[in-house]
Chains A and B, each alone.
Chain A
Amino acid sequence: MIYALIPFLPLFSFLIVGIGEQWIKDRAHLVAVPAMVGSFVLSLLALHDVATGQTVNVPLYTWLTSGNLDIHIGVSIDRLTAVMLILVTTVSTLVHIYTIGYMHGEPGYARFFAYIALFTFSMLMLVMADNLLQLFVFWEAVGLCSYLLIGHWYDRASACAAATKAFLVNRVGDFGFILGLFLVWYSFGSLDYATVFAQAGTLASKTTNLLGPIGGTWDVSVMTMICLLLFTGAVGKSAQVPLHVWLPDAMEGPTPISALIHAATMVTAGVFMVARLAPLYNLSPTAMTVVALVGALTMMLGATIALTQTDIKRVVAYSTMSQLGYMVMACGLGAYSAGMYHLLTHGAFKALLFLGCGSVIIALHHEQDMRHMGGLKDKLPVTYWTFLVGSLALAGFPLTAGFFSKDDLLVSSWSAGPLGQVLTICGLLTAGLTAFYSFRLVFVTFWGKSRVDPHHASHVHEPSTTMTAPLMVLAVLSVVAGYLGIPAFLEPVFHGEGAAAHHEGSAAYSIMALATLMGLTGIGAAYYLYVLNPGLPDRLAQQWRAAYELSLHKWYIDEAYDRSLVRPTLSAAQGLWKHVDVAIIDGAVNGVARAIAWGGWFIRLTQSGQTQHYALGMTLGAVVILTVYLLL
């Protein structure tokens, strides 16, 4: 029962800070940070319980009942949930502490703490759900927090637009999610994981005729439908192609949010969902293939875009997208524990990188353009060294956590059949790109001559301890997380399903060697281009104009959506309103009224009150009747 406090401590923190915002002001962290620490400690206890073989299940209350629909809210913890709890509470605690320095003196200080506490509550409830509807409810709730936090600086037009975009794109994904959820309920009569998983096998061979309503025949496996519809939600939340467009724009939010929500926790919810629902996905090879391909595509697309971006946060954002692609691909290939492993290490080093960016941005008075940075290595030593650790982990440099998890992921993928082998090769190539853009970021930002605005250059200094301490903790975690035996801990969750994670043998060593080689090549290339020959990148950009533009403009996907979806929808709305609603439908209503009015006017003509008119009428009438009578 005590474990119900894991999510509820942040909720209390939200309620106290949120409702007492006007009163609590810049003391918000005095409530928020202890609550988070408490939640973290309880998560550790929960992890210990789970590791010793217990499972935690605390039903809280019945949310709604209607017919056979019976939904409970509660918290339940197994190994998969436990590691997510540790990730979420760790990063959230560190981000809470970092925020004290980062948001210091901002007018929305308390509001910011309230929202991140609400987010943490929602995220914890999401991972602790034991049924699909609770998952969905908090899935939307974390999306709401993301929306509110992206739009934290509400007077910036770009931030507001980014917030709306994030919510809308996720809504598109959730549209599929909720249909998938209905299909699960329709097929199994329940939304509880346990019940659904127990019956999953019975549905394996069922099909449904998708073209039935229009008289065609197209039999599709029900399980594939379920998995793909649910995966649509994951595509939105985890920024997979084609719903990835919101994530880079989400960088408009304050940087601690980018670390917490848009790198370490919320965006990984999609990966978590696929892993959580592994018993369903395992029954649909088609869906698995789609998942793997979408992941691989995202992985490569993100990396190619990250190569040329100049906004420091956007580089990291596209890198996040690419790394999420790795995880989704792994899940699609059945390597769930490898995917989850990478999710956890990535959570540590990517949060570190974002918080490092935040330090740089604060030191430079909200400058985010790499072209106006450079030479910060000596002025921001803590930030630099921790950032370097994070970049090494991201690049998969040997002995960092990122090295172990990426290696585990690629080896597992390789053993998943021909598709897995093709995708492993893609993964290896992307690893090279990853190392390249990470170290491009390091070299351009921290090395070389300073290109900082002279106004600020003189007083660039390391931020306060509340900001540097979380960096150091995360830097340690970015290494240590590789030695904790996470895959072995997670293995029982996916016991005997999909490809096993451990494959000793020559293939495994070759992949490890290749991955390391790709990483080192990428770092070397970045060093060659940005340190040894600083003029070369521009020349290359000129030479490969088309490719450069394509990458810089993010493959023109935003433009394509704008032209094919956004604008047509808005103009259709305008057109429908003016030409159908006002002109036709309301026109008909007014037309009827007018017709009646005219009718009345016309008939009134006969009631003029003048005798000669009536006499004329009588005469005419008599003539007409006589004529008709005579002629017929």
Chain B
Amino acid sequence: MTSFPWLTLIVFFPLIGAVLCFLVKAESSRWVALGFTIGTFLLSLPLWWLFDPSTATMQFVERASWISSPPVNYSLGMDGISFPLVLMTTFLMPFCVTVSWTAIEKRVPLFMSMLLVMETAMVGVFVALDFVLFYVFWEAMLIPMYLLIGVWGGPNRLYAAIKFFLYTLAGSLLLLVAILALYFQGGHTFDILELSRGTYGASLQMWLFLAFFAAFAVKVPMFPFHTWLPDAHVEAPTAGSVILASVLLKMGTYGFLRFTLPMLPDATVTFTKPMIALSIIAIIYGAYMALAQTDIKKLIAYSSVSHMGFVTLGIFVLNIQGIEGAVMQMVNHGITTGGLFLCVGIIYERTHSRQIQDNTGLAGPMPRYAIFLMIFALSSLGLPGTNSFVGEFLVLAGTFLWSQFATAFAALGVILAAAYMLWLMQRVVFGTPAPAHRAHLLDLNARETATLVPLIVLVFVLGIFPNPLLTRMHASVTNLLNGQKAPAFATTPPLPPLPKAAAAMAAISPSSSEQAAAR
């Protein structure tokens, strides 16, 4: 089992398709892309059963020497944190192809090939266990994404593409500096696992933390580094928006989990409070921004800022509920926001407008579409029974152990999410259609239905049966928290809850009377 190179196959299989796209007729490149994305998904699917949930060690590991000096290895592996993200990525890619089937008319082979290149780079980022390899995949994502926005985007696409490119590149350069610093301080290796086992001085950790932060916070994006996101989303073609929201944003939070927490435990604890503050600001601020939008895509883009705030919040409360909730939320956000963007793309093909006022009263002429959109919207606002509730609930539960007041603020985001999403539904789904567009409002065709139904199914499956996925995370997340050399964290209430060091750190945490007595 372990000898079979699953991960290499999954990473590079799409790349074959990317080349093939140019070799066949332009029309057929769609089928090539569809075949290869589905093929990649089918290749990754057995991992669900092959993955051993009982261990936190890397699984499906492959290792080969790439460059001997400096020692760079081609090493891949997967644990309970990267596993759900890889599956989510391979699951979503076929729908990026089908939604672009008729929407993309020019340079189809190049488009399809870029999608496949993206897939290789994205999966590569999640499974790379060597820093140089990781960085190669990380940077490799930028170019196809830049092209997706810049070539097939909306009217303001060049501005958006350049902004996206430069903004994330600026962050990435500091990541490179951090990687080099780790190399020289951490025993001249780029091996991620080995570097995670090392210990680093306090001030080095601080600097590295800031460098990592620059790279990851832009990607997430965390407040106040989020302004590239609405522009990129609005201008990107639908498939680009889906990839951007569902997968690219997760790179940032994955980076925090894979590098910042294990390698820089002391700095992580030091920066906990500002990180949580930024997360909560993102949750509330993003929701407020969403309330003010009239462009559906922009609204969803800002809602992503809010939802990703929950992810970073969960990560930095540093307990098991928080981090498992964060990983769940990463997957859920991928599915739900991906679904919402697919829906927007579908309606844009009909009305050629993303404005709310041009897309009203869809329930009448497009009942099936309306139901699907409503389900994604309800999932987005965290309704129990849908996937998002599980993630948000766990994140908030974890936050509650850290600070009850922080939880109250974060939970305000849930009210606001209901406000902007239901208000959007009230205007888009309910009511009567805008007369000018009425004739174009045909309900979903078979291709579009097939694009949305699997996501809908997953919304409910993950909402009603989240435990199979959660059990695959337990070992890795527990290990991640145990690896924290800093004070142990409250993984088990009841009462005497926060251990002293953590409590002292969390001055905004309320103190029960007995804790006060203990001091």
Contact = CB atoms under 8 A, between A and B. Distances in A.
Interface of A: 61-69, 136-138, 140-141, 144, 147, 151, 154-155, 157, 159-161, 163-164, 167-168, 171-172, 175, 178-179, 182-183, 185-189, 206-210, 212-213, 219, 222, 569-570, 572-574, 576-578, 581, 585-586, 589, 593
Which 8 pairs from chain A and chain B are nearest by CB?
A189-B494, A160-B430, A573-B291, A137-B384, A67-B320, A577-B292, A586-B227, A573-B292
B459 to A, nearest CB: 14
Contacts of A578: 292
B432 A209 contact: no
A182 B407 contact: yes
A121 to B, nearest CB: 11
A4 to B, nearest CB: 15
Contacts of B55: none
B361 interface: yes
B400 A182 contact: yes
B490 to A, nearest CB: 9
Contacts of B66: none
B378 A144 contact: yes
27 contacts: A65-B470, A66-B324, A67-B321, A68-B492, A68-B493, A136-B384, A137-B389, A140-B384, A140-B385, A141-B383, A141-B384, A154-B361, A155-B361, A168-B419, A179-B407, A206-B512, A206-B513, A208-B510, A208-B511, A208-B512, A209-B511, A209-B512, A213-B507, A219-B513, A570-B291, A573-B291, A577-B293
A196 to B, nearest CB: 11
Interface stretch (B84-92, B95-103, B331-339, B409-417): B409-417
B418 interface: yes
B288 A573 contact: yes
A178 B392 CA distance: 11
A128 to B, nearest CB: 16
A577 B405 CA distance: 26
A212 B411 contact: no
A581 B293 CA distance: 12
Nearest to B323: A66
A241 to B, nearest CB: 19
A63 B469 CA distance: 11
B288 A589 contact: no
Given A141-B384, A160-B430, A589-B163, A186 B493 contact: yes
A62 B466 CA distance: 9
Contacts of A222: 512
For the complex, would chain A's binding face be called helix, strand, loop or mixed by DSSP majority? helix
Contact of A569 (B291, B430, B465, B511): B291
Interface in B352-401: 361, 363-364, 378, 383-385, 389-390, 393-394, 396-397, 400-401
A574 B431 contact: no
A64 B426 contact: no
B494 A186 contact: yes
The range of chain B's interface size is: 35 or more
Nearest to B291: A573
Contact of B467 (A64, A175, A206): A64
A163 B378 CA distance: 14
B195 to A, nearest CB: 27
Interface in B56-77: none
B513 A207 contact: yes
A209 B385 contact: no
B385 A66 contact: no
B378 A175 contact: no
Find the residue from B408, B430, B465 having the highest chain A CB count within 10 A.
B430
A154 B431 contact: yes
Interface string B152-164: 0000000000010
Find the residue from A64, A147, A209 having the highest chain B CB count within 10 A.
A64
B516 interface: yes
A154 B364 contact: yes
Given A66-B321, A67-B491, A140-B384, A151 B430 contact: yes
B394 A66 contact: yes
A412 B404 CA distance: 38
A577 B289 contact: yes
Contacts of A151: 430
Nearest to A18: B371
A175 B400 contact: no
B228 interface: yes
Contacts of A68: 491-493
Contact of B432 (A155, A569, A589): A155
Interface string B5-46: 000000000000000000000000000000000000000000
A442 B206 CA distance: 76
Contacts of B397: 66, 69, 182, 185
B50 interface: no
B423 to A, nearest CB: 6
Contacts of B404: 179, 182-183, 186
Interface string B483-508: 00000000111110100000000011
B492 A67 contact: yes
Contacts of A219: 513
A618 to B, nearest CB: 35
Contacts of A577: 288-289, 292-293
B493 A66 contact: no
Given A155-B431, A186-B401, A593-B166, A213 B509 contact: yes
A171 B400 contact: no
A540 B102 CA distance: 69
B474 to A, nearest CB: 8
A154 B431 CA distance: 6
A212 B383 contact: no
A150 to B, nearest CB: 11
A263 B132 CA distance: 64
A65 B288 contact: no
B289 A576 contact: yes
A212 B494 CA distance: 20
B167 interface: yes
B422 interface: yes
B146 to A, nearest CB: 16
Contacts of B364: 154-155
B390 A64 contact: yes
Contacts of B163: 589, 593
Contact of A141 (B224, B385, B494): B385
Contacts of A593: 163, 166
A245 to B, nearest CB: 15
A64 B423 contact: no
Contacts of A178: 393, 396, 411, 414
Given A155-B361, A167-B422, A183-B404, A172 B415 contact: yes
Contacts of A163: 422, 426, 430
Given A68-B492, A185-B397, A576-B289, A209 B516 contact: yes
B80 to A, nearest CB: 12
A578 B361 CA distance: 28
Contacts of B401: 186
A597 to B, nearest CB: 11
Contacts of B426: 160-161, 163-164
B430 A154 contact: yes
Contacts of B482: none
Contacts of B403: 213
Given A64-B394, A178-B411, A572-B288, 20 more contacts: A61-B465, A64-B466, A65-B470, A66-B325, A67-B320, A137-B389, A154-B430, A155-B363, A160-B426, A168-B419, A175-B411, A178-B393, A182-B400, A185-B493, A189-B494, A208-B510, A208-B511, A208-B513, A578-B292, A586-B227
Contacts of B363: 154-155
Nearest to A214: B508
Nearest to B510: A212
Contacts of B285: 576
